[in-house]
């Protein structure tokens, strides 16, 4: 495979400016015989939002899921190449996957709160990872996480109520609170707003901009406008290849690759 990703500009400013958090090198992902990702190399900067865009089946979610080894649960899935997280090879045999997923959290397309109270939804991960010293500490972590997810004011009087009783947008923010409660370094978001209305979407986007002060955020989105609004780095995937990576400002005003241009301007055929 001799495919080469185009960088817009040659070294995107955000990659040059921020520390690298995740560095993928020559990554291939296979589902059985089928190759889903081909020779992918990318550096994902810390304390920034990176967006993966591309048509359905382009491999963006597959790659996102290989960053915290969610693909391990699919028996036929095989990953080659190297994905380094703070320099550590995440596919190294010595890696504890549970611990890895605590450091690289994930938020899914459909909000999926546990069928438990709002409090328990956030406290659960903290407890199983043994991150709280005592009950007071646990309450502090839950409160802070809900505050950071901008949900606190809406739920502080009903923490014992079921998480599933919240609205869709609130549920998604609850899932984000749950993800950040275990103090991750990276948050992966797989179309976090596609099931939400525009107001709830705007809240999540506002939250994403807040969170990038402290986290490395990677978001897969079908909404190009959303990628343009929230991200610093944009990566365009097509047919399992990473076609173009660049500063979001450059990619959406002056993409270098024809395929990127066709996709973001709505010409793809």
Compute the Cα dihedral for 144, 150, 154, 160 and give only its sign.
negative
Minimum distance of another protein from residue 269's CB (angstroms): 7
Q: Measuring CA to CA, which residue among 110, 120, 164, 114 is closest to residue 142?
A: 120
Minimum distance of another protein from residue 248's CB (angstroms): 11
Rank residues 58 and 122 by Cβ distance to another protein and give the closer one: 58
Rank residues 80 and 225 by Cβ distance to another protein and give the closer one: 225
The footprint of another protein (CB under 8 A) covers 224-225, 228, 252-255, 261-262, 264-269
Minimum distance of another protein from residue 147's CB (angstroms): 33
Rank residues 23 and 239 by Cβ distance to another protein and give the closer one: 239
* Separation between Cα atoms, residue 92 and residue 173, nearest integer Å: 32
Rank residues 120 and 232 by Cβ distance to another protein and give the closer one: 232
Minimum distance of another protein from residue 11's CB (angstroms): 17
Q: Per DSSP, which regions of the chain are E strands?
A: 6-8, 20-31, 34-45, 49-53, 77-85, 88-89, 104-107, 186-190, 216-220, 233-238, 241-247
Minimum distance of another protein from residue 267's CB (angstroms): 5
CB 119 within 8 A of CB 159: yes
Rank residues 57 and 165 by Cβ distance to another protein and give the closer one: 57
* Separation between Cα atoms, residue 187 and residue 217, nearest integer Å: 5
Peptide bond into 134 cis (omega under 30): no
């Amino acid at each position: 495979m001799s495919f080469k990703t185009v960088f817009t500009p040659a070294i995107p400013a955000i990659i040059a400016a921020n520390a690298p958090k995740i560095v993928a090198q020559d990554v291939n992902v296979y589902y059985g015989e089928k190759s889903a990702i081909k020779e992918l190399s990318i550096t994902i900067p810390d304390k920034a939002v990176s967006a993966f865009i591309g048509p359905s089946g382009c491999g963006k979610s597959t790659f996102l899921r290989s960053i915290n080894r969610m693909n391990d649960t699919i028996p036929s899935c095989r990953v080659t190449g190297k994905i380094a997280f703070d320099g550590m090879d995440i596919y190294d045999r010595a890696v504890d996957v549970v611990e890895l997923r605590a450091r690289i959290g994930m938020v899914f397309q459909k909000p999926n709160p546990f069928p438990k109270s709002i409090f328990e939804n956030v406290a659960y991960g903290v407890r199983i990872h043994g991150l709280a010293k005592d009950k007071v500490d646990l309450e502090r972590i839950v409160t802070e996480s809900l505050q950071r997810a901008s949900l606190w004011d809406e739920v502080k009087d009903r923490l014992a109520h079921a998480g599933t009783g919240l609205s869709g947008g609130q549920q998604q923010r609850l899932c984000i609170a749950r993800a950040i409660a275990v103090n991750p370094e990276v948050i992966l978001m797989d179309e976090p707003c596609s099931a939400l209305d525009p107001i709830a979407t705007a809240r999540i986007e506002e939250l994403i901009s807040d969170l990038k002060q402290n986290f490395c955020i990677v978001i897969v989105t079908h909404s190009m406008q959303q990628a343009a609004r929230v991200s610093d780095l944009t990566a365009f995937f097509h047919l399992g290849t990473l076609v173009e990576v660049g500063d979001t400002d450059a990619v959406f005003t002056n993409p270098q690759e024809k395929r990127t241009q066709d996709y973001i301007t709505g010409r793809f055929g």
